[in-house]
Structure 1
Amino acid sequence: MQEASFSGLFKTIMWVIAFYYIFKFLARIFLPVLVKKAVENASENFQRQQQQYNQGNTYQNNRNTSNNDEIIINTANAKNPRETKKVGEYVDYEEID
C-alpha cells in the first residue's frame, strides 16, 4: 500500500502546470492554422451552394419561359403572414376601497 507524500503532490501539481503551459503554447501555434482552414472550407461550401442555387434558378427561369414570352411565377414557397394568437379578452380590474 502506498501513502501520499508532499513531494508526490508537488510533482503532480508541477506536471499539471507544465502540461497546461505546453498546451497553451501549442494552441497559439496551431489554432490559427486550424481556424483558417475551417473558414476556407466553409467559404468553399458556401460558394458551391451559391453556384448550385444560381444554376437551378437559371434552369427554372428557362423552363418557365415559353415560346410566346409568357412567364409563370411559382408562388408555392411564398410565406403567408402569420396570425397573432388571440388569448382572450382583456379584463380591467379596479381596486375596491
Structure 2
Amino acid sequence: MLIGLAKTIFFLITFYYLFKIIGRLLLPYVMKKGVERMQQQQQQAATNYQQQARKQEGKVTIKQDAHKQSTHIVNDNEGEYVDYEEVK
C-alpha cells in the first residue's frame, strides 16, 4: 500500500513538472498563433467593410426580403396612421 502511494505521488509530481515545462515551451507559440489569427480576421473584416462602404458611397438602395413581405393589403381609402406627440 505504501509503495502504491509513493508511485502515485511520484507520477503526479513528474506529470506536474512535465506539463509545466511543456507549457512554458508551447504556450507562447500557441498564443502567438492565436493572436496572429485574430489580427488576420480583423484585417479581413476591415478590408471588407471599406470595400463595401466604397461601393455604396452616394448610392441609396432598399432591399426587401420576399419572406418578409406583408400579406396585408391596404385599401386606397385608408391612409397610414402616424402616431405623434404634441410638444408645447
TM tier relative to shorter chain: 0.5 to 0.7
1:40 is matched by which residue type in structure 2? Answer: E
The 4+ residue runs of structure 1 with deviation greater than 3 A are: none
Mapped partners of 2:42, 2:27: distance in 1: 22
Task: Tell me what 1:8 maps to.
Answer: 4
Task: Tell me what 1:70 maps to.
Answer: none
Mapped partners of 1:14, 1:34: distance in 2: 29
2:59 is matched by which residue type in structure 1? Answer: R
Residue 30 of structure 2 corresponds to residue 56 of structure 1 = no
1:53 is matched by which residue type in structure 2? Answer: Y
Gaps of 5+ in 1: 65-97
Report how many aligned residue pairs link the two structures: 60
Percentage identity across paired residues of the two chains: 37
Task: Tell me what 1:93 maps to.
Answer: none
- String of CA shifts for 1:1-58, please: whole Å, max 9, x gaps: xxxx011111111101100100000000010000000000000000000000000111
Of 6, 18, 25 in structure 2, the residue corresponding to residue 22 of structure 1 is 18
Alignment of 1:10-89 (within 5 A): 10-64=6-60
Alignment root-mean-square deviation, CA:
1.0
- Match of 2:57, SS state, is helix
Q: Compute the TM-score of the two structures, normalised by the length of structure 2.
A: 0.65
1:9 is matched by which residue type in structure 2? Answer: L
2:41 is matched by which residue type in structure 1? Answer: N
